């Protein structure tokens, strides 16, 4: 796959001051022998031809614009621009340009752009300023030399002139000759002056002077001058340390003389910077930037020289993985490899990528499997450092290697399992190695750095492997220490290790969903971890509580049901009770967890806490958390009761079968009020046509009281027996000749049923007991045809009839019929197919 970070468009400014597109390609920066310097090279995307070959000049002003554009002038009236597709590629090339010119990559322009008149004025000023004349390099003039150099540090122009004078006259070597004289004579005053002189020469920050001072024949004399600090009663012994005590070990013999000289020089200069020179003040910090750059480029050159020596690295890894290699020799090889990786941190991203690819190809990961398991503290520590360098650069290197090992390596020799094993078996009392290995595991398990991987299945495959083969080893110390209801061991190393494991598990809960959930539920892991709430070490109690807090923060009902079923808040309340209201971190952490449950309104946990721990909650009054939690619980219970009551009220009592249940919205307010208040109405009195098989027939008949508000007979709509007589239970409700019954005789066909319902809906009055007493006579003839309802003229004229009409009973009757007619979709469809005979009007 093509690297789009380096994909650029090349533009050139034409005579009309317009940018011309010179083509699209990929840019790189490398050393070109023909140009004798680091150059920018752009090759065409289409055919690979060279579009640009430009040496990075130390005095050319490069300008970075809009994060993806680099502009510079190649020569007079010839401006070029590189437009990058991605910001990352622009940043890499910009860092390379700044590295060559010795600039900070944070700047937007590498050289100060000065107007021509100002530039000329500066040149004139420099030329007109007299050159600095150095005093004669004599023993009696050391004080004058020291004063002159110290005065020049305040002016950049005078620093330049002084550096030129020191370099041109070979003054440094003359001063070193005086040093030998003073040391032979024991002239302490002269030695103190030489200390100040050389300290100030370092502050001139000039690379040319460093080259002279750090050469093999002068560097020890320079270190000797810096031994005689005026404030110390006795000189330090830096030369003795560098020449006698510091031993250079060659793990593999180095035949390259240039490489060997660079290694020695870099070590000595690093020693001068870190040990010999006094710690620079805030104002002097930037004055030694050139010294840092000198060391930086030396390290880059060392890494490059070693990397190019294939025989050297091949022999190194051969001996490292050889079973016959003595442990002492292997220790030296690992320590050398650690320094090698440390120096590689100075490489640019492109160089670093090539570096780790080289090490991976040579077999650094199989070598680490061996060295991590060696019972030697130095070897193991250095191996962990090397592994940390690799993982910080690219965790995918380790993950890919692990997945490749699955089918051809035993489980205990897999690199990830070796890491886990070394973590839990670290013999260091402070667990220094275990802390580093936990950080490495965290990087390997972090799903955020898995997204950018080319291998799309890497995340799923690696996590599947880890939770199948490695998680058991990781949590084994945790399970072993929580067998009972209290921690088995409470020694410092054990609790430190358990704290590390809990931190890793908390990270997994937060970033992994499916895998860690299965692990927790299958192994009942939370219950085991909460045993640690009884630990005497408060930090371990907090680790266990933090793990539970991470689970609750997910608001996952699977976890919530697991907590409720296991009553896993009990250990938390026990710890809270044992804390006895002390104002400490444990108290605050527990309160925050319940505050989160309240604020997020996690109903299941809220109900569980209030219902099971109300006694504990009542005693806590110094915060409002639990009172608010209980109030939230009561509000929730009220809502549930209202919802249940509303659901019960919305079910029509005339028909309980859900098939004929109509929508609650069809009820008007008056009907809802009646259903809430009426107590004498029974489900058995529903209007149920016997011919409809889907409807539930009444199982019992309730005897109605004879009152004006009662319905006249329970069998308002009923089917006759085959012989045309009324059922026995209907005859018991109405004695003959005292109450006239309204009988609607229906055929068994759906069309007649719907016709009866439609006719009954239009009935405007219902005859009751008071109508009979008032002399109202109603005759209803029931045949197999449609029912005919007739009302006499006396009933129409009688004032008692109007007052005796029971509106409530009428509503019941209409409601039952409307329920039946409105709720049965099947009846509606069939009634449309079979026409209903015309009803007779009221007479």
> Cα 255 vs. chain centroid, distance in angstroms?
49
729 inside domain = no
DSSP bridge pairs for 781: 788
Percentage of the chain with pLDDT > 90?
A: 33
Kindly give, in sequence order, each residue whose CB lies less than 8 Å from that of residue 559, ignoring residues fewer than 6 positions away. Answer: 517, 520, 551, 552
570 inside domain = yes
Tens of pLDDT along 32-70? 877 778 888 888 888 888 888 888 888 888 888 777 888
Angle at CA of residue 432, ends 431 and 437, nearest 5°: 95
Reported as a pLDDT band with limits 50, 70 and 90, residue 190 is very high
pTM: 0.60
Reported as a pLDDT band with limits 50, 70 and 90, residue 563 is very high
Q: Say how many CA atoms lie within 13 Å of 475 toward its Cβ.
A: 25
Give the integer Cα–Cα distance in Å for 47 and 30: 20
Residue 231 to residues 144, 148, 191, 206, 483, Cα–Cα distance (Å): 20, 21, 12, 27, 64
The first and second tokens of residue 127, run together, are 């030329």
671 inside domain = no
Reported as a pLDDT band with limits 50, 70 and 90, residue 398 is very high
DSSP bridge pairs for 54: 40
Kindly give, in sequence order, each residue whose CB lies less than 8 Å from that of residue 59, ignoring residues fewer than 6 positions away. Answer: 111
Same domain for 404 and 367: yes
Phi, psi of 338, deg, nearest 5 = -65, -45
Q: What is the 3-state secondary structure (H, E, C) of 253-292?
A: CCCCHHHHHHHHHHHHHHHHHHHHCCCCCCCCHHHHHHHH
213 inside domain = yes
CB 605 within 8 A of CB 563: yes
Angle at CA of residue 357, ends 356 and 358, nearest 5°: 90
CB atoms within 10 A of CB 498: 24
Same domain for 389 and 358: yes
Q: What is the mean pLDDT of residues 492-508?
A: 94
CB 738 within 8 A of CB 762: no
Same domain for 566 and 538: no
Same domain for 415 and 332: yes
Secondary structure element (H or E) that encloses residue 43, with its range: strand 37-44
Residue 80 to residues 73, 590, 768, 834, Cα–Cα distance (Å): 6, 63, 107, 90
Same domain for 479 and 377: yes
Q: Is 735 helix (H, G, I), strand (E, B) or coil?
A: coil
Same domain for 487 and 341: yes
613 inside domain = yes
Q: Is 593 helix (H, G, I), strand (E, B) or coil?
A: helix
Same domain for 90 and 143: no
187 inside domain = yes
Number of domains into which the chain is organized: 4
pLDDT of residue 75: 67
| Domain containing residue 33 | 4-117
pLDDT of residue 537: 93
Last residue of a domain, one of 557, 574, 599: 557
Same domain for 544 and 395: yes
Output Rg (C-alpha) for the chain, integer angstroms.
48
Residue 149 to residues 143, 157, 193, 221, 529, Cα–Cα distance (Å): 10, 13, 11, 19, 68
Residue 310 to residues 34, 313, 423, Cα–Cα distance (Å): 25, 5, 34
Tens of pLDDT along 663-718? 444 444 445 454 444 444 444 443 333 333 343 444 433 334 434 333 333 333 34
The first and second tokens of residue 9, run together, are 């468009």
Q: Helix, strand, coil % (nearest 5) of the chain?
A: 60, 5, 35
The first and second tokens of residue 53, run together, are 């070959």
Tens of pLDDT along 70-111? 888 876 667 888 888 888 888 888 888 888 888 888 887 777
Order of strands across the sheet with 63-65? 50-55, 37-44, 19-32, 7-13, 78-84, 69-75, 63-65
Last residue of a domain, one of 89, 117, 145: 117
Least confident of 105-119, 134-148, 484-498: 105-119
Same domain for 509 and 451: yes
Per-chain mean pLDDT for the chain:
76
Tens of pLDDT along 515-533? 999 999 999 999 999 999 9
181 inside domain = yes
More confident call, 161 vs 765:
161
Q: Is 521 helix (H, G, I), strand (E, B) or coil?
A: helix
Last residue of a domain, one of 627, 643, 659: 643
Same domain for 612 and 478: no
Secondary structure element (H or E) that encloses residue 549, with its range: helix 538-553
pLDDT of residue 266: 92
Task: Tell whether the model's pLDDT for residue 735 goes beyond 50.
Answer: no
Tokens 């529903």 label which residue?
Answer: 686
Using a 10 angstrom Cβ sphere, with 0-12 exposed, 13-18 middle and 19 or more buried, the burial of residue 57 is middle
Of 531, 532, 569, 578, the closest CA to residue 551 belongs to 569
Give the integer Cα–Cα distance in Å for 781 and 325: 118
Same domain for 138 and 100: no
Task: Tell whether the model's pLDDT for residue 761 goes beyond 80.
Answer: no
The first and second tokens of residue 691, run together, are 């011919």
Phi, psi of 787, deg, nearest 5 = -70, 145
The first and second tokens of residue 26, run together, are 């990929």
Kindly give, in sequence order, each residue whose CB lies less than 8 Å from that of residue 820, ignoring residues fewer than 6 positions away. Answer: 654, 655, 660, 687, 689, 757, 827
Residue 777 to residues 239, 252, 754, 798, Cα–Cα distance (Å): 137, 127, 27, 12
Q: What is the mean pLDDT of residues 110-136?
A: 57
Reported as a pLDDT band with limits 50, 70 and 90, residue 775 is very low
Task: Tell whether the model's pLDDT for residue 802 goes beyond 80.
Answer: no
Which domain CATH number covers 92?
2.30.29.30
pLDDT of residue 452: 55
DSSP letter for 107, please. Answer: -
Which domain CATH number covers 484?
1.25.10.10
Residue 408 to residues 143, 364, 405, 411, Cα–Cα distance (Å): 74, 18, 6, 9
Strand pairing category for 788-789 and 37-44: unpaired
Q: What is the mean pLDDT of residues 274-299?
A: 78
More confident call, 450 vs 322:
322
586 inside domain = yes
Reported as a pLDDT band with limits 50, 70 and 90, residue 246 is confident
Same domain for 385 and 477: yes
Give the integer Cα–Cα distance in Å for 179 and 175: 6
DSSP letter for 243, please. Answer: I
Task: Tell whether the model's pLDDT for residue 438 goes beyond 90.
Answer: yes
């Amino acid at each position: 796959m093509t690297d789009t970070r380096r994909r650029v468009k090349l533009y050139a400014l034409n005579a009309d001051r317009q940018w011309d597109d010179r083509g699209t390609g990929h840019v790189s920066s490398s050393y070109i022998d023909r140009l004798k310097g680091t150059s920018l090279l752009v090759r065409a995307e289409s055919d690979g031809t060279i579009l640009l070959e430009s040496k990075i000049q130390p005095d050319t002003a490069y300008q970075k614009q809009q994060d993806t554009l680099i502009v510079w002038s190649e020569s007079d009236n010839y401006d070029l621009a590189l437009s990058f597709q991605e910001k990352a590629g622009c940043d890499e090339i910009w860092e390379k340009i700044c590295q060559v010119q010795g600039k900070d990559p944070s700047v937007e322009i590498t050289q100060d752009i000065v107007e021509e008149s100002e530039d000329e004025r500066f040149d004139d000023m420099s030329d007109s300023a007299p050159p600095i004349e150095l005093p004669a390099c004599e023993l009696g003039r050391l004080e004058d030399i020291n004063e002159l150099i110290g005065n020049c540090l305040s002016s950049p122009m005078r620093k330049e002139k002084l550096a030129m004078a020191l370099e041109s006259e070979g003054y440094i070597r003359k001063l070193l000759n005086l040093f030998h004289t003073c040391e032979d004579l024991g002239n302490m005053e002269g030695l103190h002056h030489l200390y100040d002189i050389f300290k100030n020469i370092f502050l001139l920050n000039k690379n040319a002077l460093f080259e002279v001072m750090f050469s093999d024949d002068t560097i020890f004399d320079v270190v000797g001058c810096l031994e005689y600090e005026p404030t110390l009663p006795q000189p330090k012994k830096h030369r003795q340390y560098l020449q006698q005590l510091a031993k250079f070990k060659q793990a593999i013999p180095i035949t390259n003389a240039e490489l060997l000289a660079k290694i020695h020089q870099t070590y000595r200069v690093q020693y001068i910077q870190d040990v010999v020179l006094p710690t620079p003040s805030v104002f002097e910090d930037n004055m030694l930037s050139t010294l840092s750059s000198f060391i930086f480029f030396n390290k880059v050159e060392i890494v490059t020289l070693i990397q190019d020596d294939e025989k050297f690295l091949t022999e190194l890894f051969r001996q490292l993985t050889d079973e016959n290699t003595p442990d002492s020799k292997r220790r030296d090889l690992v320590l050398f490899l650690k320094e090698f990786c440390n120096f590689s941190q100075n490489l640019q991203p492109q160089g670093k990528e090539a570096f780790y690819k080289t090490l991976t190809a040579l077999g650094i990961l199989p070598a680490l499997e061996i060295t991590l398991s060696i019972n030697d503290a130095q070897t193991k520590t250095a191996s962990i450092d090397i592994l940390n360098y690799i993982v910080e650069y690219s965790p995918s290197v380790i993950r890919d290697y692990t997945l490749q090992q699955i089918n051809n390596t035993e489980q205990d020799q897999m690199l990830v399992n070796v890491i886990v094993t070394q973590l839990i078996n670290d013999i260091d009392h402070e667990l220094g190695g275990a802390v580093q290995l936990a950080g490495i595991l965290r990087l390997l398990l972090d799903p955020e750095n898995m997204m950018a991987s080319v291998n799309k299945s890497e995340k799923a495959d690696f996590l599947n492997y880890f939770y199948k083969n490695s998680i058991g080893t990781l949590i084994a110390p945790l399970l072993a220490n929580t067998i009972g209801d209290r921690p088995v061991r409470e020694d410092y190393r054990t609790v430190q290790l358990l704290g590390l494991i809990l931190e890793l598990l908390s990270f997994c809960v937060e970033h992994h969903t499916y895998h860690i959930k299965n692990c927790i539920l299958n192994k009942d892991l939370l219950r085991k971890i909460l045993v640690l709430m009884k630990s005497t070490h408060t930090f371990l109690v907090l680790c266990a509580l933090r793990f539970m807090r991470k689970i609750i923060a997910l608001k996952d009902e699977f976890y919530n049901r697991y907590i409720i079923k296991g009553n896993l808040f009990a250990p938390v309340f026990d710890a809270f009770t044992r804390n006895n209201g002390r104002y400490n971190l444990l108290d605050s952490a527990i309160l925050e967890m319940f505050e989160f449950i309240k604020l997020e309104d996690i109903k299941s946990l809220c109900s569980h806490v209030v219902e099971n721990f109300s006694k504990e909650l009542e005693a806590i009054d110094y915060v409002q958390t639990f009172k608010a939690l209980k109030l939230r619980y009561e509000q929730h219970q009220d809502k549930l009761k209202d919802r249940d009551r509303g659901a019960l009220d919305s079910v029509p009592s005339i028909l309980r079968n859900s098939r004929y249940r109509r929508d609650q919205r069809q009820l008007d307010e008056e009907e809802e009020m009646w259903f809430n208040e009426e107590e004498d109405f029974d489900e058995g009195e529903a209007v149920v046509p016997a011919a409809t098989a889907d409807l539930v027939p009444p199982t019992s008949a309730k005897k109605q009281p004879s009152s004006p508000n009662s319905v006249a007979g329970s069998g308002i709509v009923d089917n006759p027996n085959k012989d045309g007589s009324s059922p026995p239970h209907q005859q018991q409700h109405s004695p003959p000749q005292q109450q006239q019954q309204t009988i609607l005789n229906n055929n068994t066909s759906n069309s007649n049923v719907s016709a009866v319902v439609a006719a009954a809906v239009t009935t405007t009055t219902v005859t009751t007991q008071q109508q009979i007493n008032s002399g109202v006579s109603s005759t209803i003839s029931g045949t197999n045809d449609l029912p005919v309802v007739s009302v006499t003229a006396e009933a129409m004229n009688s004032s008692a009839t109007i007052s005796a009409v029971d509106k409530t009973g009428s509503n019941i009757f209409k409601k039952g019929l409307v329920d039946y007619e409105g709720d049965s979709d099947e009846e509606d469809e069939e009634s449309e197919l079979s026409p209903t005979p015309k009803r007779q009007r009221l007479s």
